[in-house]
């Protein structure tokens, strides 16, 4: 029974009926992820993990090009180490997993499964950094982290997730600030050029900043249901951790100084983001740059002489040209069934080859984004398919940008604010006094949080949209994942 169900491309709940169910339907039916026996932990299946591998490769190249190297630090953090920085432990202690026993013995000191690695890394930097010649230290780590979450959803919020965390140390605050902003820029460019997701970038409020940071910067994306998703953050830690962990260096002037640090991270959460930005009624729509399969070749009337051979030849040619491509030569499924399945799985380009196509020396390409069909001459296939993939990237980025813009509202008063958040649903841009009390009250009344104080400011007035006090800056508000 279970088998037969799986063999059919099943019904997907419409987005406008129940977006949350649509999301679950899509990620499960596209075979990206599964639930495990461990509360809040997901299994990332090969099709989902393939997306992560492409994300990793693209990001890792950008980290290297900006001078960073990868390293690996322990999974476990002694309780005393986590507790050193006061704000940090307060922020993370309530949501960590505790290791208390090793084998049959009780540990002398409890260990935390890393929720993030600032403390363990700082304890090493204190050993490694002695002189100005040791700076800057530019290290990144790809790893798993654990945060004990009460309410979880695959990719978006899970007790264990995969991420990268950059940790750098610099001679002074300005250099740390430059790095913080540079890496947020790398994230923003990556989101746009690889995930085809336009983001809003800016600074987090004091309430929303990272536990232990001097300032946190963020990139925020808009989902199709009008909720925001924080896609990555970059923190200037200032001397907070350096003072606690005693990370000092001897400067050229002969004086001992504390380093200034940054940390920045993105995670498998981005996969949830790209599903919710690009997906549609037919299922997933994968940005070509991270799609595990960019093009699928479907032999039509496969039993006819030469069809399967031609399909394989095309696959081979495209593979050599750097396209991630597969032939679907399953005999157990009809062509129609296959069309549906590859659409559900969001493969950007489908290439159909039948006897008549071969006669005409062409392939029938179908774009996943527009569903347009267009014949492509066989002899220039690598160029036209790569061109098509680029075009799809551009088209879905444009569509996502239009969606984000349409879901961005300007509120000049609190009625407008409430309407934007609760009825129209999306980002609300509004002037804000910057006070925590006001931020809390807004959240209580509307469910919206400050997403960021954007770098691109607009002057919408002089007073806070909520309390009427003087307001120096505009903020983005939204309900968020």
By CB under 8 A, is residue 70 in contact with a copy of itself? Answer: yes
By CB under 8 A, what part of segment 335-394 binds a copy of itself?
none
Contact 177, 264 (CB under 8 A): no
Region of 119-127, 281-289, 382-390, 462-470 interacting with a copy of itself (CB under 8 A) = 119-127
Which of 10, 38, 402, 412 binds a copy of itself (CB under 8 A)? It is: 38
- 324 backbone φψ class: left, alpha, beta (φ>0; ψ -120 to 50): beta
* Residue number with CB closer to a copy of itself (103 or 336): 103
Q: Is 3 exposed, middle or buried (0-12, 13-18, 19+ CB in 10 A)?
A: exposed
Q: Which of 28, 244, 250, 300 binds a copy of itself (CB under 8 A)?
A: 250
- Hey, what are 96's tokens? 């960590």
Which CB sits closer to a copy of itself, 269 or 466? 269
Site for a copy of itself, residues 96 to 115, rule: CB under 8 A: 96-104, 111, 113
DSSP 271: H
Interface with a copy of itself: number of residues (CB under 8 A)? 61
Q: Among residue numbers 424 through 443, which ones bind a copy of itself (CB under 8 A)?
A: none
Q: Does 2 bind a copy of itself (CB under 8 A)?
A: yes
In the bound complex, what is the minimum distance in angstroms from residue 139's beta carbon to a copy of itself? 7
Q: What is residue 175's three-state secondary structure?
A: helix
**Shortest distance, position 53 Cβ to a copy of itself, whole Å:** 7
Q: Would you count residue 11 as binding a copy of itself (CB under 8 A)?
A: no
C-alpha span between 309 and 321 (Å, rounded): 19
Q: Which of 26, 27, 30, 42 binds a copy of itself (CB under 8 A)?
A: 42
Eight-state DSSP code of residue 171: S
| Binding window for a copy of itself (CB under 8 A); candidates: 19-27, 75-83, 392-400, 414-422 | 75-83
Question: Going edge to edge, which strands form the sheet with 325-327?
Answer: 325-327, 295-299, 349-353, 362-367, 373-377
Helix (H, G, I), strand (E, B) or coil at 49: helix
CB atoms within 10 A of CB 415: 10
119, two tokens: 């403390």
Token pair of 357 as six digits = 């196509």
User: CA 388 to CA 92: how far, in whole Å?
Assistant: 46
Contact between 90 and a copy of itself per CB under 8 A? no
Q: CB-wise, 181 or 244, nearer to a copy of itself?
A: 244
Query: Does the footprint of a copy of itself cover residue 72 (CB under 8 A)?
Result: yes
Give, to the nearest 10 degrees, the angle between helix 269-278 and helix 46-65: 110
53 near a copy of itself (CB under 8 A): yes
**Smallest separation, CB 160 to a copy of itself (Å):** 5
Query: Does 293 sit near a copy of itself (CB under 8 A)?
Result: no
Contacting residue, 14, 67, 74, 375, with a copy of itself by CB under 8 A: 74
Give the shortest CB-236-to-a copy of itself separation in angstroms.
Answer: 23
**CA–CA dist 461, 471 (Å, integer):** 8
Listed ranges 140-148, 309-317, 400-408, 411-419: which one lies at the site for a copy of itself (CB under 8 A): 140-148
Residue 226 CB, nearest approach to a copy of itself (Å): 30
- DSSP code per residue over 316-356: HHHHHTT--EEE---SSS-HHHHHHHHHHTT-SEEEEE-HH
Q: CA-to-CA distance for 334 and 374, rounded, in angstroms?
A: 22
Hey, which residues between 203 and 232 contact a copy of itself (CB under 8 A)?
none
Binding test (CB under 8 A) with a copy of itself, winner from 11, 17, 94, 359: 94
Specify the residue for token string 């250099």.
175
C-alpha triplet 468, 472, 473: angle, nearest 5°: 100
Which CB atom, from 150 or from 372, has the smaller least distance to a copy of itself?
150
The residue within the footprint of a copy of itself, chosen from 22, 23, 52, 190 (CB under 8 A), is 52
Q: Identify whether the C-beta of residue 439 lies closer than 8 Å to the C-beta of residue 451.
A: no
Please answer whether residues 78 and 122 qualify as being in contact, where contact means their C-beta atoms are separated by less than 8 angstroms. Answer: no
Q: DSSP character for 95? A: G
Can residue 244 be called a binding residue for a copy of itself (CB under 8 A)?
Answer: no
160 binds a copy of itself (CB under 8 A): yes
Q: What is the binding site for a copy of itself (CB under 8 A)?
A: 2-3, 6, 34, 36-38, 41-46, 49-50, 52-53, 69-78, 81, 93-104, 111, 113, 120, 123-124, 127-128, 130-131, 133-134, 139, 143-144, 146, 148, 159-160, 162, 250, 332
């Amino acid at each position: 029974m279970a088998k037969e169900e799986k063999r059919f491309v099943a019904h997907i709940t419409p987005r406008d009926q129940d977006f949350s169910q649509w999301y679950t339907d899509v990620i499960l039916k596209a075979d990206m992820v599964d639930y495990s026996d461990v509360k809040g932990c997901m299994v990332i299946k090969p099709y989902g993990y393939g997306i992560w591998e492409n994300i990793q490769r693209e990001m890792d190249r950008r980290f290297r090009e900006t001078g960073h190297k990868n390293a690996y630090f322990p999974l476990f953090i002694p309780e005393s180490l986590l507790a050193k920085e006061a704000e940090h432990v307060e922020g993370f202690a309530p949501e960590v997993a505790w290791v208390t026993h090793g084998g049959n013995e009780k540990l002398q000191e409890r260990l935390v499964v890393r929720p993030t690695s600032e403390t363990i890394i700082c304890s090493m930097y204190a050993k490694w950094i002695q002189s100005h010649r040791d700076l800057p230290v530019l290290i990144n780590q790809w790893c798993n982290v654990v945060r004990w979450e009460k309410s979880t959803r695959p990719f978006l919020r899970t007790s264990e997730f995969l991420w990268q965390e950059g940790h750098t140390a610099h001679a002074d605050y300005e250099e740390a600030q430059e790095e913080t902003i540079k890496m947020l820029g790398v994230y923003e460019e990556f989101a746009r050029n690889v995930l085809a997701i336009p983001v809003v970038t800016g600074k987090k409020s004091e309430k929303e900043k990272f536990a232990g940071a001097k300032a946190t910067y963020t990139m925020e994306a808009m989902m199709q249901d009008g909720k925001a998703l924080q896609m990555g953050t970059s923190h200037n830690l200032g001397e907070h951790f350096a003072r606690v962990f005693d990370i000092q260096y001897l400067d050229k002037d002969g004086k001992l100084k504390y380093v200034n640090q940054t940390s920045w991270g993105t995670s498998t959460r981005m996969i949830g983001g790209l599903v919710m930005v690009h997906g549609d009624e037919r299922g997933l729509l994968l940005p070509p740059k991270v799609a595990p399969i960019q093009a699928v070749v479907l032999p039509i009337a496969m039993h006819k002489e030469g069809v399967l051979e031609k399909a394989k030849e095309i696959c081979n040619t495209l593979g050599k040209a750097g396209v991630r491509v597969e032939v679907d030569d399953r005999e157990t499924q009809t062509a129609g069934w296959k069309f549906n399945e590859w659409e559900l799985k969001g493969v950007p380009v489908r290439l159909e080859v039948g006897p008549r196509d071969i006669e005409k020396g062409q392939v029938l390409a179908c774009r996943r984004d527009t569903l347009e069909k267009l014949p492509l001459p066989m002899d220039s296939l690598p160029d036209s398919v790569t061109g098509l993939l680029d075009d799809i990237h551009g088209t879905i980025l444009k569509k996502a940008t239009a969606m984000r813009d349409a879901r961005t509202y300007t509120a000049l008063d609190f009625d407008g604010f409430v309407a934007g958040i609760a009825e129209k649903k999306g980002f609300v841009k509004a002037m804000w006094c910057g006070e925590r009390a006001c931020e809390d009250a807004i959240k209580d009344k509307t469910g919206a949080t400050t997403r960021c104080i954007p770098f691109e400011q607009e002057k919408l007035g002089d007073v806070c949209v909520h309390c009427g006090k003087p307001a120096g800056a505009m903020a983005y508000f939204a309900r968020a994942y």
